[in-house]
Amino acid sequence: MKNSPLVATIVSIFAVVDGRLQVLLVHRTGEPESGKWALPGGLWDCLESLNEAATRKLVEETGANDVYLEQLFTSSGLDASQEMIAVAYFALVDANDVRLRQEESWEPAWFPVNELPSLAFDNNRLIDQAVDRIRAKLGYTNIAFGLLPPEFTIRELQNTYETILGSPLDRRNFRRRMITTDLIEPTGKARRDGAHRPAQLFRFVSRDPVFL
């Protein structure tokens, strides 16, 4: 009985770029599925934990370090042979923190999640699952903190929600719900930008990921 599969970690990295939810893809150079776009990932070296490997991959690709990272699913048999398993993660990053490494041959780039090309392996399905989970968790967790800077206006937070959900929200109800659910709190500071009343800055009460 054999038991020495290859183990890969795969990370779906999401950000709001140009007012749309986008995912980071890289161009595959090696076989199989060479030439197709795919999620960044790599073989696990058994020296670090799986979470560390996923975090490292994320930092390598984006330079971002204050992120939301969560495990999604582990699957086998993606690569025709069964002797490989893939541990999939997803991450939410603040687009302003990201510096893509454009020098590399695989040319990382952002793609809107609702305009994806046909990707390698089952990556399309994986991204769909991740997006579903993100949408579901928006309602009852602080998952959005990864997409925003440490301090933000309620308007910025609402824009993020609307981008992910794809539908507009009532401004007053949104503010009330965010505050009364103790998800965010005022920092006491405000930001002046333009010919109008300054906006209060808020922060997330907790930045620890909530699982379940």
Partner DNA sequence: CCAAAAGTGTTAAAGCTACACCCATGG
Partner DNA sequence: CCATGGGTGTAGCTTTAACACTTTTGG
Q: In the range 124-143, which residues lie near a second copy by CB under 8 A?
A: 129, 132-133, 136
Decide if residue 211 touches a second copy (CB under 8 A): yes
Closest CA to 22 of 116, 89, 96: 116
In the complex, least distance from residue 141 CB atom to DNA, rounded to whole angstroms: 15
Decide if residue 198 touches a second copy (CB under 8 A): no
Contact 40, 88 (CB under 8 A): no
> What DSSP line would sit under 92-131, residue for residue?
E--GGG----TTSTT--EEEETTS--PPSTTHHHHHHHHH
Out of 102, 188, 196, 212, the residue judged to bind a second copy by CB under 8 A: 212
The 8-class DSSP code of residue 172 comes to H
Residue 133 touches which of DNA, a second copy, none (Cβ within 5-8 Å per kind): a second copy
In the complex, least distance from residue 90 CB atom to a second copy, rounded to whole angstroms: 13
The interface region with a second copy, picked from 28-36, 46-54, 105-113, 175-183 by CB under 8 A, is 46-54
Contact 157, 143 (CB under 8 A): no
**What does the alpha-carbon distance between residue 38 and residue 202 come to, in Å, rounded to a whole number?**
36
Decide if residue 166 touches a second copy (CB under 8 A): no
Decide if residue 80 touches a second copy (CB under 8 A): no
**What does the alpha-carbon distance between residue 197 and residue 8 come to, in Å, rounded to a whole number?**
50
Per-residue exposure over 162-196, b if at least 16 CB sit within 10 Å of its own CB, e if not:
ebbeeeeeeeeebbeebeeeebbeeeeeeeeeeee
Residue 118 touches which of DNA, a second copy, none (Cβ within 5-8 Å per kind): none
Nearer to DNA, 31 or 193 (CB): 193
In the complex, least distance from residue 160 CB atom to DNA, rounded to whole angstroms: 13
- Where do contacts with a second copy occur on this chain (CB under 8 A)? 1-7, 43-51, 71, 73-77, 82-83, 85, 87, 129, 132-133, 136, 211-212
